[in-house]
Structure 1
Amino acid sequence: MPLRHGIFLPPFHPMDENPAACIDRDLELMQWLDRLGFHEAWIGEHHSAGWEIISSPELFIAVAAERTRSLRFGTGVISLPYHNPLMVANRIIQLDHHTRGRVMFGAGPGLLASDALMLGIDPSTQRDRMAEALDVILRLFRGEIVTEKTDWYTLVNARAHIPPYTKPHPEVAVVSAVTPSGGRLAGRYGLSMICVAATNPFGFDALGANWQIANEVAAERGLAMDPAQLRLVGPLHIAATRAEAYANARFGFERYLNYLNNNQPRFKVPAGKDPAEWFVESKFGVIGTPDDAIAMIERLYAKQGAFGAFLHQAHNWADWEQTKHSYELYARYVMPHFSGDNRARIESFDWCTEHLDELAEKRSSAARAMFDKHEAEQKAKQTATPTARPAKGKEAF
């Protein structure tokens, strides 16, 4: 199974930067990834806490799709408890048409408690509300007419206004972190899964269990989970050397960690320990070289088995040009390691090395034969009887 590569863009932008410029840079990143041959980008929805400033992934995707050729886009994710499910279904279907099938629908309960509280939503209800909304959206995608009343939405003979461009409908994915809720929903409907904390030690330990839960629930319903639709997310920054990568990450890594801890304390750096070094040593992510990125993905394979895509958790650890270079190095060296695109070239090179003496002798023999042939032809010309020239008339000239 070929491994696809993409990003998961929350995004993370420090509060001292121009927000319009930050969003423009995110769009420029989409164009850069498209040129480098990345396969997909998932865009988040957030409404508070300061850093994650895209409130509508659908709007962002509509703009980004116009500026790219082949990159596929997913909502990463739409927080379903914040929206009427009919509105979500119609927006995704419209976006499916706008992009001519390049959109994927990622759904989640909503990560930031501060978002839910602004809407008067009890965070303890969000997972159940997500499950209710997802069921309705899938029915609307299939063309069903839905009448349903809950404590947070009412639908009366509701139906999607137009059918999806993608048949039967765009790919649907649910997020999974540590709890089994994502795996249960994915298995119930046979959906894709995005493990957003795959390299986090707690999320890493839960990988196999959540995938197993998804498979068991799917089997109970006569469905089968497809590992090609399993995506694992992890943060990384790479450069030519580890020293260079760490120097690059000094730009913004500590601010990134402080932001995450400001929302939910989870990264407890020991006193006197360098935060970036501790982060890598604890296996939360990678700051290093392309070989280090390869090793991290191989570690995920060893833990999980087959999966379909690795997604970078996009961040601003490094400055813009260094960030772009990190993605370029990944495309140049990490992607072909897993695609095997250079396998035939390497085998050809190795075969030539193995037969070097034989090939050199054949080349030399062929060259000597050509010299011998040329010299023989020259001698034949020198010994040939010259043609007599007429003494007069036009033939003499």
Structure 2
Amino acid sequence: MPQPYLPSAFGVFLAPYHRPDRDPALQLRRDLELVTELDRLGYEEVWAGEHHSAGYEIIASPELFLAAAAERTGRIRLGTGVNSLPYHQPLVLADRICQLDQQSRGRAMLGVGPGQLASDAFMMGVDPMDSRTMMADSLEVIVRLLRGETVTAATDWFTLDEARLQLGPYRGREMEVAVASAVSPTGAVLAGRHGAGVLSLAAADPAGFATLDTNWAAHERACAEAGRTADRGSWRLVTPVHLAETREEALKQSEFGVLDLVAYIEALGGVRLPGCATAAGAVRRWTEEGLPAFGRAVIGTAEDAVERIGQLARKTGGFGTFLILQLDLAEPAAALHSLELFAERVVPRLTGTTDARRASLDWAARNGERFTGALRRSTEQAIARKGEVC
């Protein structure tokens, strides 16, 4: 049986999740500083979310946030994670993402979904039962606009009359689009229908993990029906990760912010989570059973992260990009160190970038006696010749 290939690109998914009793301007500033650090550490991507209620996820316009991030960085790609399509006139959204692509010189990516928070949909008069249909309506015309087509279309919630983009993607390049996918195959099928990538947001959730392979199969069928070949390289999986030098240290550091996340989950769900009365208990539940919306976190060492990503690769058959779900879990210094550990110890293991160095060291060690013997004989000969050069 062929071995699944491991991801070759890595990034961060930043909703973000911030305590509502802290200064939002400072929180957003720290998020921008984080993107600068990710660029320095060599991460390939960062994705920023769109939310409008509930107090924790405070980026309302990912394009605005990413435009500011673009001015602070030079190479990292910038994705909307995700734009909630039922909340936008599709021409206006396509226009905005193309402006971001121009300003960032081709680093923008468009992530799309139906909208996560029911409270957002309620405020805008969007029936959550209609959100997936509205997403499909919007995505169909957005991909056509991004390809330079003139679009006339009418639905029960938007109308386009000879709509076209005055600014397309940077230098005529194809804009990368990714569709959010959780447990149902809806997102994966839409992605296949329109030539988009799959963004698996629930890969850490036991139910989401269980459907990764079947959702990909649905994506492959949708691609085939559209005359396309599914590309595993455009598949992204999201998982919460916090690393430290030891597992015990990582678990202890995670107690700093875990109860804030538990409070958010309980407020949205209206129920108390068993086993989460203490920070230590909540961390234990998160790593063993998982938490609603966040799944099972990787809290431990670089080896633990390598093992979990290997499990994901075996379950899926291989995927292109692994995204860390960034949370206010540990204190800022420890959170940054976690990202440094991932970049320095996990990424090289998965990509094989240190294999040649280890092989060279092994070769030198195996032949050490031969090499040092030759060097010793050369030195003795030079001494015997009293400095004379042949």
TM-score interval (norm. to shorter) = over 0.9
Query: Does structure 1 residue 100 correspond to structure 2 residue 112?
Result: no
- After TM superposition, list the pairs within 5 Å mapping 1:142-153 onto structure 2: 142-153=147-158
Name the counterpart of 1:177.
182
Query: Does structure 1 residue 291 correspond to structure 2 residue 303?
Result: yes
Name the counterpart of 1:275.
282
Query: Does structure 1 residue 373 correspond to structure 2 residue 389?
Result: no
Amino acid paired to 2:216: W
- Alpha-carbon shift at residue 354 of structure 1 (Å): 1.4
| Pair 46,271 (structure 1): closer, same or farther in 2 beyond 3 Å | closer
Among residues 118, 130, 136, which one is paired with 1:131 in the alignment?
A: 136
CA contact (8 A) 2:46 2:77 kept: yes
1:224-246 superposed Cα distances (whole Å, 9 cap, x missing partner): 11111000000010011111111
| Pair 211,321 (structure 1): closer, same or farther in 2 beyond 3 Å | same
Query: Does structure 1 residue 211 correspond to structure 2 residue 223?
Result: no
Query: Does structure 1 residue 89 correspond to structure 2 residue 94?
Result: yes
- Alpha-carbon shift at residue 269 of structure 1 (Å): 3.6
- Alpha-carbon shift at residue 302 of structure 1 (Å): 1.3
- Alpha-carbon shift at residue 266 of structure 1 (Å): 9.1
Q: Secondary structure at the match of 1:374?
A: coil
| Pair 117,358 (structure 1): closer, same or farther in 2 beyond 3 Å | same
Query: Does structure 1 residue 246 correspond to structure 2 residue 251?
Result: yes
- Alpha-carbon shift at residue 265 of structure 1 (Å): 6.7
| Pair 271,162 (structure 1): closer, same or farther in 2 beyond 3 Å | closer
Name the counterpart of 1:122.
127
Name the counterpart of 1:312.
324
Amino acid paired to 1:277: R
Name the counterpart of 1:258.
263
Name the counterpart of 2:372.
360
2: CA distance between counterparts of 1:207 and 1:41? 22
- Alpha-carbon shift at residue 287 of structure 1 (Å): 0.9
Query: Does structure 1 residue 75 correspond to structure 2 residue 87?
Result: no
Amino acid paired to 1:348: S
Amino acid paired to 1:351: W
2: CA distance between counterparts of 1:15 and 1:271? 20
- Please tell me whether Structure 1 or Structure 2 has the larger radius of gyration of its CA atoms: 1
- Alpha-carbon shift at residue 162 of structure 1 (Å): 2.3
1:103-131 superposed Cα distances (whole Å, 9 cap, x missing partner): 00111100000000000111110000000
CA RMSD between the two structures: 1.8
Which is further off, 271-280 or 316-325?
271-280
Q: TM-score, normalised by structure 2?
A: 0.93
2: CA distance between counterparts of 1:27 and 1:271? 31
Query: Does structure 1 residue 161 correspond to structure 2 residue 173?
Result: no
- Alpha-carbon shift at residue 60 of structure 1 (Å): 0.3
Which is further off, 328-337 or 267-276?
267-276
Name the counterpart of 1:40.
45
Name the counterpart of 1:393.
none
Query: Does structure 1 residue 226 correspond to structure 2 residue 231?
Result: yes
- Alpha-carbon shift at residue 263 of structure 1 (Å): 2.1
Size of the aligned set, in residue pairs, is 377
Amino acid paired to 1:282: E
Q: Secondary structure at the match of 2:110?
A: strand
1:289-340 superposed Cα distances (whole Å, 9 cap, x missing partner): 1111111111111111221100000100001111111101111101111121
- Alpha-carbon shift at residue 187 of structure 1 (Å): 1.1
Unaligned residue ranges in structure 2 (runs of 5+): 291-295
Amino acid paired to 1:238: L
2: CA distance between counterparts of 1:159 and 1:267? 49
Q: Secondary structure at the match of 1:274?
A: helix
Q: Secondary structure at the match of 2:344?
A: helix
Name the counterpart of 2:344.
332
Q: Secondary structure at the match of 1:54?
A: coil
2: CA distance between counterparts of 1:352 and 1:302? 34
CA contact (8 A) 2:262 2:276 kept: no
Amino acid paired to 2:176: E
- Alpha-carbon shift at residue 271 of structure 1 (Å): 7.2
- Alpha-carbon shift at residue 257 of structure 1 (Å): 2.6
2: CA distance between counterparts of 1:159 and 1:79? 21
CA contact (8 A) 2:276 2:285 kept: no
Among residues 305, 309, 313, which one is paired with 1:301 in the alignment?
A: 313
2: CA distance between counterparts of 1:335 and 1:143? 37
CA contact (8 A) 2:262 2:273 kept: no
CA contact (8 A) 1:96 1:166 kept: no
- Alpha-carbon shift at residue 211 of structure 1 (Å): 0.5
Q: Secondary structure at the match of 2:385?
A: helix
